[in-house]
Amino acid sequence: MPEIATPSDVVLDVRGLTKNFGGLAAVRAVDLSIERGSVHAIIGPNGAGKTTVFNCITAFVKPSGGTVVLDGARIDGLPAHVVAAHGIARTYQNVRLFANMTAIENVMVGLHRRLSVSFWGVVLRTPAFRHEEDAAREQSRAMLDFVGIPHRAGTLARNMPYGDQRRLEIARALVSRPTVLMLDEPAAGMNPAEGVALVHLIERIRSELGITVILIEHHMRVVMAIADRITVFDRGAVLTEGTPAEIQSDERVITAYLGRRATAADVRTVERLSEEESVA
């Protein structure tokens, strides 16, 4: 793939991304520039195309058109595991864990691409394999610690509380030390206290691990607390982009969510709710 010149502060650059499902244009010529080291939120009404954009970037679905550049290299058109190896990790809208494996085993799965031992090394459990496995276990334990669930290491994923399962998914994505972490609705199903804890965790992912975070999220409290920039999707296209302050007073955004033209009273209500949330 050819090298593409992008400003060094842009870690992920998406141009003209398009995805059609039969006659449905789910994503229409989307441009997205993600700044290195930022937390970038993607919001928009149901069906706006947010998850499809994630799926196109991570090669879970094949885009109909457009380019995706990570750290200066084209990654569109590559298989999903190669995109992951280039440094993009993700979580899913619905938790996807190996239910009958322990937490630490689930995290170790996130490292399997890093293992260098041959197939026979694994089968025969050679010393080289055992050495790598020990190292992988240690890194995985450290990552469970980082996300705040070290005490769950030996617990089967299916027996863990939902909030911890979501943390476990994040640990599995982080253990490969990606450049970009993409979280699809990480606060879904969380109570307000878990939402606050998630905000702190995302802050630490950025500040302590230096990983750029892109998240799709419906919980505006989480988005407004954490995002440096927000891109708003509507009907497959980018409606607008800006800082949290710019977005929450943008009438077009309120209109997209309401499905009708926003009135002055709607704008005042959103501003009042945002103020109440920020002091809560």
Ligand X SMILES: Nc1ncnc2c1ncn2[C@@H]1O[C@H](COP(=O)(O)OP(=O)(O)OP(=O)(O)O)[C@@H](O)[C@H]1O
- Chain residues in the site for ligand X (CB under 6 A): 21, 24, 26, 44, 46-52
Q: At what angle do helices 192-209 and 127-146 cross, to 10 degrees?
A: 120
Which of the 8 DSSP states describes residue 143? H
Q: What is the dihedral of CA 213, 85, 58, 191, to 10 degrees?
A: -40
- The residues, any chain, with a CB within 8 Å of residue 58's CB and separated by 6 or more, are 80, 83, 84, 88, 90, 182
* Number of neighbouring beta carbons within 10 Å of residue 99: 13
> CB atoms < 10 A from the CB of 7, how many?
9
